[in-house]
């Protein structure tokens, strides 16, 4: 979120509402959690850290005051430094799906696990188709760099779909063991 706010302010001064609008218009919300209130909170934190600063405050009619912010020199340095770090250094992420897989046996029955994973695979197929349509609708003269995050997202979705199909197939053909003890566990049956 901080990177997104800093990058948008690097383009020129804006008030938080404009930042939220631009995040939605540009699809930044596909990669960054962008609840309106969290953007305003992030702007406040960045201002407290002197990475951005208010330029002006205006009020139109009965609307609330709007403070326009701009990037400071320290903010520009932080943007580049944070971006370099995020691009260079792999970090350990804790995806919800990975955590859920640790406990898949709690479903009790292999058939239930297969159904759940098949529904996830169907969702990925739909997401891949939708993103493919979006990418196909982009003007040919738009540099690929401006869509690289969506290209990456498609690659990750395709990889996970292939993995899901493999695991589902292994559960179905029995090459991925589903211990009988899981189906026999009384606490899982309730």
Q: pLDDT of 17-58, one tens digit each?
A: 999 999 888 888 878 877 767 899 999 999 999 999 999 988
2-88 folds as: Arc Repressor Mutant, subunit A (1.10.10)
Please check whether residue 70 is in contact with residue 53, taking contact to mean a CB–CB distance below 8 angstroms. Answer: yes
Under the banding of pLDDT at 50, 70 and 90, the label for residue 65 is: confident
Residue 90 main-chain phi, psi, to 5 deg: -60, 140
User: In the structure encoding, which two tokens stand for residue 117, read together?
Assistant: 């994973």
* Region 62-81 average pLDDT: 92
Under the banding of pLDDT at 50, 70 and 90, the label for residue 189 is: low
Quickly list H helices, 12-138.
Answer: 16-25, 36-48, 73-88, 96-102, 110-136
* Region 161-179 average pLDDT: 95
The predicted pLDDT at position 5 comes to 95
* CA angle (140, 29, 139) in 5-degree steps: 10
**pLDDT at residue 74 is higher than 80:** yes
């Amino acid at each position: 979120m901080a990177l997104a706010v800093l990058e948008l302010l690097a383009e020129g001064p804006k008030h938080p509402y404009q930042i939220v609008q631009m995040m939605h218009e540009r699809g930044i919300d596909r990669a960054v959690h962008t609840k309106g209130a969290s953007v305003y909170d992030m702007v406040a934190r960045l201002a407290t850290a002197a990475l951005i600063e208010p330029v002006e405050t205006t009020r139109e009619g009965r609307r609330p005051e709007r403070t326009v912010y701009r990037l400071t020199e320290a903010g520009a340095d932080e943007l580049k430094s944070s971006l370099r770090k995020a691009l260079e250094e792999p970090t350990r992420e804790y995806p919800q799906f990975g955590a859920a897989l640790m406990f898949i046996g709690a479903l009790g029955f292999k058939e239930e696990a297969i159904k759940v994973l098949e529904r996830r695979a169907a969702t990925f197929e739909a997401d891949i188709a939708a993103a493919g349509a979006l990418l196909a609708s982009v003007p040919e003269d738009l540099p690929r760099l401006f869509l690289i995050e969506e290209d990456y997202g498609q690659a990750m979705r395709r990889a996970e779909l292939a993995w899901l199909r493999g695991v589902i197939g292994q559960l179905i053909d029995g090459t991925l063991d589903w211990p009988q003890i899981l189906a026999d566990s009384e606490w899982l049956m309730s």
